[in-house]
Amino acid sequence: MPLLILRRLAATIPVMLVVAVVVFLMLHLSNGDPAAIIAGDNATTEDIERLRASLGLDQPLAGQFVSWLWQLMHGDLGVSIFNRMSVTSMIVQRVEPTLALTLLTIVIAVLVAVPLGVLAAWRVGTLTDHAIMGLAVAAFSCPVFLIGYALVQQFSRTWRILPVQGYTPLAEGLVPFLQHLALPAISLGLIYTALLARMTRSTMLEVLGEDYIRTARAKGLGVMPVLLRHGLRNAAVPVVTTIGLGIALLLGGVVVAESVFAIPGIGRLTVEALQQRDYPVIQGVILVSSLAYVMVNLLIDLAYLLLDPRIRY
């Protein structure tokens, strides 16, 4: 396994290099000009030209790329064109809220979806199954912002028991931390719950039709051991894949939930940087997100090894 990890880590280097080149080219070849945005609406053309020169944006693209790559090789993601803060520190500031929201969302989704999926598979074709799958379709079809606004209306404006917006770091206390994350995590969690419940159900249905399940039941095993020990364990690989992909996608930025609940996370950082054409920030965020994606995929692969000894790489 250590060799596998090393091999996979080494493979991330060319992947990250390709990401770096593509991101740099796509950004710099797209329309938009940070100098015009910084200078403001009242700036003259001369002001904008002067600013562009002072930011080095008038340099040839190849020169800008080499200089950025040189910085990257030294572990420096550069500084924001706008506020001159280091991109690394900006990402670090935004990682905690996104990570917290992601983990809470996944925990909610796993705790609710896996039992529901198993239950639906076990009671396939019954009212229970139809009800669970109906709810899953409804939840999956609802946009996050709609669920968010509905929750805010009820919990924050009518009952006034949870805050509308904002984020409190865990360091300032568990209760305010959970208070601020409850509604966004539920809003996002509903969709992932639906997705995961459907995935669990379909995989469990396949597994429950296998001979070894029939054998286990014929041997007189109870429902729970059959479902959990023989069923769920064998259905775990696709379920874990879905969970892992969910984590990776959420880490990449949950823009809508972060915007609706004013959570200063990676998603909002990315969108704001894109709107402003803050090239170093966009490049930094995409690189870090890609790295996170690669790492999560590696962890999923490792989880396969633990869950299914037949799998070999």
Partner 1 sequence: MQDKPNGLMPSRRSMLTATGAAGLLMLSSGSGRTQRAVDRKTLKAVVHADLKILDPVWTTAYITQRHAYLVYDTLYAMNSKFEPKPQMVEGHTLSPDGLTYVFTLRSGLKFHDGQPVRATDCVASVKRWAARDPMGQLLFGFTDRLEPVDDRSFRLVLKEPFGLVLDAFGKASSPPYILPERLAKTPPTEQVTDPTGSGPFVFKKDEWRPGNRAVYARNLDYVPRAEPPDYLSGGKVPKLERVEWIYIPDNNTVLSALMAGEIDYFESPPLDFIGMLKDTPDVTVLNIDTLGAQGLIRPNTLYPPFDKYEGRQALLHTIDQAEYMGAVVGNSDLYLPFCGAYFLCHSANDTAVGSEPLRKPDYAKARQMLAAAGYKEGQKMVVLQATDRPQYSAATTVLASGLRKAGVNVDLQAADWSTITARRARRDPPDRGGWNLFITTHGGPDVSTPVSNVWFNSKCERANPGWACDPELEKLNAAWAREPDRTKRRAIIEDIQRRAYDSVPYVPFGQFFQPIAFRSNVKGVLVAGQPVYWNIEKT
One character per residue 175-204, x = contact with partner 1 (rule: CB under 8 A): xx-xx--x----------------------
Measured CA to CA, the distance from residue 137 to residue 191 in angstroms comes to 9
Rounded to whole angstroms, the Cα distance separating 78 from 59 reads 16
Q: Does the CA dihedral 259-262-267-273 come out positive or negative?
A: positive
* Host H or E run for residue 218: helix 211-218
Task: At 167, give phi and psi (nearest 5°).
Answer: -145, 135
Which of 260, 282, 286, 292 lies at the binding interface for partner 1 (CB under 8 A)? Answer: 260
The region of 76-84, 100-108, 136-144, 193-201 touching partner 1 under the rule CB under 8 A is 76-84
Q: Please tell me the distance from the alpha carbon of residue 208 to that of residue 120, in angstroms, as a whole number.
A: 12
Task: Spell out, one character per residue from 202 to 221, where the chain touches partner 1: x when CB under 8 A holds, - when not.
Answer: ---------------x----
Nearer to partner 1 by Cβ, of 136 and 257: the residue is 257
Q: Specify the stretch interacting with partner 1 by CB under 8 A; choose among 43-51, 108-116, 242-250, 302-310.
A: 43-51
Report the residue number, 13 or 127, with the smaller CB distance to partner 1: 127
By CB under 8 A, residue 230 contacts partner 1: no
Helix, strand, coil percent values for the chain (each to nearest 5): 80, 0, 20
Residue type at 245 in one-letter notation: L
- Compare residues 47 and 301 and give the one whose CB is closer to partner 1: 47
Q: Are 113 and 200 in contact (CB under 8 A)?
A: yes
Choose the stretch contacting partner 1; rule: CB under 8 A; options: 82-90, 136-144, 234-242, 284-292. 82-90
User: CA 123, 127, 129: angle at the middle one, nearest 5?
Assistant: 45
Does the protein bind partner 1 through residue 96 (CB under 8 A)? no
By CB under 8 A, residue 51 contacts partner 1: yes
| Contact flag: residue 42 with partner 1 (CB under 8 A) | yes
What lies within 8 Å, CB to CB, of 109 at 6+ separation is 189, 192, 193, 195, 196, 243, 246
For residue 102, what are the contacts with CB-CB under 8 A and spacing of at least 6? 247, 250, 251, 254
Q: Is residue 32 within the footprint of partner 1 (CB under 8 A)?
A: yes
Span interacting with partner 1, options 163-171, 190-198, 237-245, 282-290, rule CB under 8 A: 163-171
Residue 128 main-chain phi, psi, to 5 deg: -60, -50
Q: Does 94 bind partner 1 (CB under 8 A)?
A: yes
172 touches partner 1 (CB under 8 A): no
Interface positions with partner 1 (CB under 8 A)? 31-33, 36-48, 50-51, 53-54, 80, 82-85, 90, 93-94, 122-123, 149, 152-153, 156-157, 159-166, 175-176, 178-179, 182, 217, 223, 226, 259-262, 264, 268-269, 272, 275-277
